[in-house]
Amino acid sequence: MPKKAMDVLTESMFYVLMAFHSGPMCGIDIAEEIDRCTGGRLRIGPATLYTILGKFEKENYIEEISVEGRKRTYQITELGHAAYREELARLRHCIEDAERVKGGCL
Amino acid sequence: MSEETIKHVHRLCPCDPCNVEGIQSWLEDMAADGLFLVEDGVFCGVFSFERRSPRKVSYRLDVAQKRKPRFFDSGDELTGEEWELYRSMGWEYLLQYGDFRVYRSTEPNAPELNTESETHAITIGLLKQKHRSALVSSILYTMTVMLLSGGVLRYPCREAATIGLLFTVCIYGLLLLVWTQCLLQFFRFRHYEKRLLHGDELNHHVNWKKTAPLHYLARALPFLLCVGIASGLLSALSRADNELSHEEYTGEIPFATIADVFPDSTITEDHNFLDYGTITGWSTAVSENYEWNESCYVTTADGEKYFCILRLSYHELAAQWLARGLERDYYIYDANRYHGKRFTDLPAPTLAVDSIRVYNNYGTLCVLMREGSKVAQATVTIDNHTNENQWQLWAQAMAEKLT
């Protein structure tokens, strides 16, 4: 059974939410922030980024706070924070599980 | 190469507008042949290209949030910020085609537009939902039209006999084509979505040539069907040219007229009405058709006087099942003609024909008769001083003529 998007946050979604912890941002800022955070390991394609922003706005994970010219700036909501924290906890559990298993952490 | 020497060529897209993989592959193959898609260079599925030196170019289609209107407006415009981000990642927006925006990149290291299959599945899933809604809407709309209105959708045998088989088949063909296309588009997007959710990216190098002939045929079909509908309508309109007065008509009359009801009587035609006293004959692929309009005064040999009106549609069909269908269509059509108001079935006499129905339709007495592959539908008035419609006289004469 394939998993549906938003059942769990995908890697890109997780990093987009992470980027908002540095403050309100527009699409270009988010792409740069993720590039900086991951040291260039994760490059999010523009279509993926705008799909995630659209989806997050619909799910009330982020909200638009200003439109300057044709630049839209968003900030994370409490719901977005909660989703981020939940995903972070899940990932921590994954790491802990891997570390507990003998030979699981190389 | 200078601006003046750039040659523009136009090519019909060999893939349907939902075939993301096919269109991307085709555009890339065109670029490899030296044909580069120009900005806003698409109209009705015809793409415009500039001819330059061949080089490797990547093309990608991404779902637009808003479908581009066919003739006006530029549809789902990119915001300035989006322009900047796409450009900074090496992608150039070219045009919108149906549900998709088309981008081009000449940079070999440009990241994909969609770098995550699950996220890509979200937008493809939205398109799938949209096309499912379109399919359901088109079926519901057609059914509503069929239920609420008269005409070809509800009375196929009647229209096939009177207007023509070509017209009827083309109308149904067009409907079937629209439904099939909606269904195919829905299944295509469902297939894409499933693949993306399984972690498979869309393929950018498919063999679009394999399905191109089928696509060209699918594109030509609506035009051919519309031509069929138009020519069917034109031929139906031209049947008025066949209208003759009773005096002018010299052929054999295959049905009963007032003269057959009252042989050896004096008949005086009443021409006070526009088309009374006329006969029209025409053929379609499934039927030989006549319309007979008669209004007259009759004085029988024993001095009895009658006022008669006969409006008759008579059909000799190619097969008995068509005749049964036509009889059913006539009955349903008449029953619903005035939304069922003042429609009453009357007891039919026992006559030596396959079927006879008699009904009062908004004050008009109608007789519907079928024998073999022949069908007659008539409104009959035969009044004398008793003021009682003696339509049975015509029904008897018609049954004898048919058998």
Mean pLDDT, chain A, whole residue set: 87
Q: Which of B379, B373, B395 is nearest to B161 (CA)?
A: B373
* CA dihedral of B229, B231, B237, B243, whole degrees rounded to 10: -130
Q: Which of B81, B122, B197 sits opposite A72 (nearest CB)?
A: B81
% chain B with pLDDT above 70 = 93
B122 and A CB contact within 8 Å: yes
Token pair recorded at residue B312: 């008759």
Q: Under a CB-based contact definition with an 8 Å cutoff, are residues A51 and B120 in contact?
A: yes
Q: Provide, as residue numbers in chain B, all residues whose Cβ is less than 8 Å from the Cβ of A46.
A: 82, 85-86, 89, 91, 113
Closest A-chain CA to B103: A47
Provide the shortest C-alpha distance from residue A24 to chain B (in Å). 15
**Quick one: which H or E segment has residue B42?**
strand B35-43
How many CB atoms are closer than 10 A to CB B182? 19
C-beta atoms of B113 and A26 within 8 A: no
State the pLDDT at residue A8: 77
State the pLDDT at residue A104: 54
Determine the residue among A11, A17, A25, A48 to mutate to test chain B binding: the one whose Cβ has the most chain B Cβ atoms within 10 Å.
Answer: A48
C-beta atoms of B115 and A12 within 8 A: yes
C-beta atoms of A5 and B80 within 8 A: no
* Res B80 pLDDT > 80: no
Q: Under a CB-based contact definition with an 8 Å cutoff, are residues B60 and B21 in contact?
A: no
State the pLDDT at residue B191: 95
Mean pLDDT, chain B, whole residue set: 87
* Res A2 pLDDT > 50: no
* Res B377 pLDDT > 90: yes
What gap in Å lies between CA A78 and CA A82, rounded to an integer?
Answer: 6
pLDDT band at A102 (very low <50, low <70, confident <90, very high): low
pLDDT band at B72 (very low <50, low <70, confident <90, very high): very low
Give the mean pLDDT of B360-383.
91
Q: What is the 3-state secondary structure (H, E, C) of chain A?
A: CCCCECCECCHHHHHHHHHHHHCCECHHHHHHHHHHHCCCCCCCCHHHHHHHHHHHHHCCCEEEEEEECCEEEEEECHHHHHHHHHHHHHHHHHHHHHHHCCCCCC
Helix (H, G, I), strand (E, B) or coil at B136: helix
Provide the shortest C-alpha distance from residue B114 to chain A (in Å). 5
C-beta atoms of A51 and B122 within 8 A: yes
Give the mean pLDDT of B217-239.
87
State the pLDDT at residue B232: 84
Q: Provide, as residue numbers in chain A, all residues whose Cβ is less than 8 Å from the Cβ of B89.
A: 31, 43, 45-46
C-beta atoms of B119 and A27 within 8 A: no
pLDDT band at B197 (very low <50, low <70, confident <90, very high): very high
Give the mean pLDDT of B112-132.
92
Q: Which of A45, A55, A71 sits opposite B111 (nearest CB)?
A: A45
* Res B16 pLDDT > 60: yes
What gap in Å lies between CA B319 and CA B315, rounded to an integer?
Answer: 11
What gap in Å lies between CA A10 and CA A26, rounded to an integer?
Answer: 20
User: What's the pLDDT tens digit per position in A6-41?
Assistant: 567 899 999 999 999 999 999 999 999 999 999 989
Q: Which of B73, B47, B52, B54 is nearest to B5 (CA)?
A: B52
- B 333-392 residues inside an 8 A Cβ radius of A: none
Range A11-100 classified under CATH 1.10.10.10: yes
What gap in Å lies between CA B324 and CA B176, rounded to an integer?
Answer: 24
C-beta atoms of A72 and B62 within 8 A: no
pLDDT band at B43 (very low <50, low <70, confident <90, very high): confident
- B 13-72 residues inside an 8 A Cβ radius of A: 60, 62-63, 65
State the pLDDT at residue B70: 47
Query: What residues does each domain of chain B span?
Result: 3-105, 117-239, 243-402
In this structure, the strands spanning B305-317 and B287-299 are antiparallel
Locus of tokens 């979505």: B193
Provide the shortest C-alpha distance from residue B228 to chain A (in Å). 44
The amino acid present at B308, given as its one-letter code, is C
* Res B29 pLDDT > 60: yes
User: What's the pLDDT tens digit per position in B146-196?
Assistant: 776 655 567 888 888 888 888 888 888 888 888 888 899 999 999 999 999
Query: What residues does each domain of chain A span?
Result: 11-100
What gap in Å lies between CA B154 and CA B228, rounded to an integer?
Answer: 19
Determine the residue among B118, B120, B193, B200 to mutate to test chain A binding: the one whose Cβ has the most chain A Cβ atoms within 10 Å.
Answer: B118
A28 and B CB contact within 8 Å: yes
Give the mean pLDDT of B109-125.
92
